[in-house]
Chain A
């Protein structure tokens, strides 16, 4: 990497006063579950990776709230994460890390550093009624009122950043209104970056992945008072009744698509392939050992899947390793795909 310090600085930039050095600096609160992934009968025509060959692959998933606050506020509007580890039959693993926001804030690690600093959660004051009236007359929505107990938030800084940097607008706009899911298994999660997959005949395709909940996407009522603690119980409750299932959808990129730019999602009209079904049936017993101390890494790929030229994706490999080391977690398994060793 050109700038050896960027990964460190990125991790530094995420630290916030209400976080915890023992925990993840973002996506701090989460819950793990296990189950299996079964590739669809066409998946192997597109990708030679082991988990797409049609036999069941055991998986570990960690759902999370995107916020770096160590205090749980499930009901607050926030991006949610879904980190999936596929345990391949040769003892290796591959990760797919996804979130409810379909695009990222910035096109490069350097610009993300600027963004992280500009949008650092900061003290804010509630918008006054007079100011709200002014906003209504300007036909712009007033800023969201604070949740009870909310004293810092990234919104104002992110908005200011987006006003200066057009590329951040879509993510900031959508993140501002993203809300809270009714349950972790009632949201769509996007892996955002482009990956390059290899088919049995050697064909390489530039693709993006999304998990879609088969139970359907459902958010809480944004006008009802937010509950601070419900997502983990809800997941336990639901899995006790029946497994949660997700479809893995894959879009194939075309000429002119943003292969290397995570701020630009692809329109929903690309050829779309149903790659398989994830079934989660068990909440991890020892959350601390078997989930919280795990380290996922978007650079943990396997033969048949490579990173695209997306600089954010490429930078994340080191970022997640450093973060994992800092919080004393179990290091992520050695990644074997040579493409990751660049």
Chain B
């Protein structure tokens, strides 16, 4: 945009692109705000919702830090998954509510990404019941995972743990962040309303508490339908 506010104004407008100013923002301004207005980490996974279409095709983005992220450690993780393909596929088929599921090795993490129908705890619990042994193997590769083994005897703790490692899902509508932050801090949402222009700051501070997040609830090609409904329509049996 053209600027007719004079050289100083032009200079100020360019600040966000200047290295020293970026440095100042990153190491002084943001830490100051983090100190002044710390945000609790927002919980992972899709939020409870009344609408059926919010309760199908939900996303799990489980990001678990590897104990050993060297090529050897990664190979171990790769093998653990490869050797359990039968277990995993049979488990997913019989849990019945999963659209897609896959594992990734990404930097220092092993990630489990899936789209599932219904309640998160039920999904994980049913899954443990069928392939608890595979979960044992996976979490044995992950920091903090040893306390959860055997998962079949630590169902409640495992569910909480998975929940904590599932990525926070940013709201579909940006201003809803205010309400989520209020709720997490035990305040009643949006009363009184927040200063609208503080939204970018709130986002920055939240990203400090939740550095990895899922951006929005994502796109769906055929929203509102369960995996079993899709299978049913195709005549492949549910």
Contacts and interface: CB of A to CB of B under 8 A. Distances in A.
Asked whether any CB of A lies within 8 Å of a CB of B in the complex, the reply is: yes
Point out which of B174, B175, B193, B196 has the most chain A C-beta atoms below 10 A from its C-beta. B196
Interface of B: 1-6, 8-9, 11-13, 15-16, 25, 29-30, 33, 49-54, 57, 172-175, 178, 190-191, 193-201, 204, 217, 219-220, 223-225
B26 to A, nearest CB: 12
A309 interface: no
Point out which of A139, A163, A165 has the most chain B C-beta atoms below 10 A from its C-beta. A139
A173 B193 contact: no
Contacts, number: 117
Given A255-B51, A256-B51, A270 B175 contact: no
Contact of B30 (A139, A140, A173, A255): A139
A271 B224 contact: yes
Given A133-B12, A162-B196, A174-B174, 19 more contacts: A128-B9, A136-B25, A139-B33, A139-B201, A148-B2, A159-B196, A166-B178, A170-B174, A172-B196, A222-B1, A254-B53, A255-B52, A256-B51, A265-B173, A267-B172, A267-B173, A269-B53, A270-B53, A270-B224
23 contacts: A132-B13, A139-B201, A140-B201, A141-B197, A145-B1, A145-B3, A159-B197, A162-B193, A166-B191, A169-B175, A170-B173, A170-B175, A222-B1, A226-B1, A254-B50, A257-B51, A267-B217, A268-B217, A268-B223, A269-B57, A270-B223, A270-B224, A272-B223
Contacts of B193: 162-166, 169
Contacts of B175: 169-170, 173
Contacts of A224: 1
Q: Give the 8 A-B CB pairs with smallest separation, nearest first.
A: A256-B50, A271-B224, A139-B201, A166-B193, A129-B12, A254-B51, A169-B175, A166-B190
A1 interface: no
A166 B11 CA distance: 35
Interface in A204-233: 222-226
Interface residues of A, number: 42
B57 to A, nearest CB: 7
Point out which of A163, A256, A257, A267 has the most chain B C-beta atoms below 10 A from its C-beta. A267
Contacts of A129: 5-6, 8-9, 11-12
A133 B204 contact: no
A58 to B, nearest CB: 32
Given A145-B1, A163-B195, A270 B174 contact: no
Interface in A279-319: none
Interface in A158-190: 159, 162-166, 169-170, 172-174
A57 B50 CA distance: 38
B238 to A, nearest CB: 19
A219 to B, nearest CB: 14
B50 A133 contact: no
A173 B199 contact: yes
A127 to B, nearest CB: 9
Contacts of B11: 129
A133 B21 CA distance: 11
A137 B12 contact: no
Contacts of A145: 1, 3, 5, 9, 13
A138 B25 CA distance: 10
A163 B219 contact: no
Contacts of A22: none
B53 A225 contact: no
B173 A270 contact: no
Nearest to B172: A267
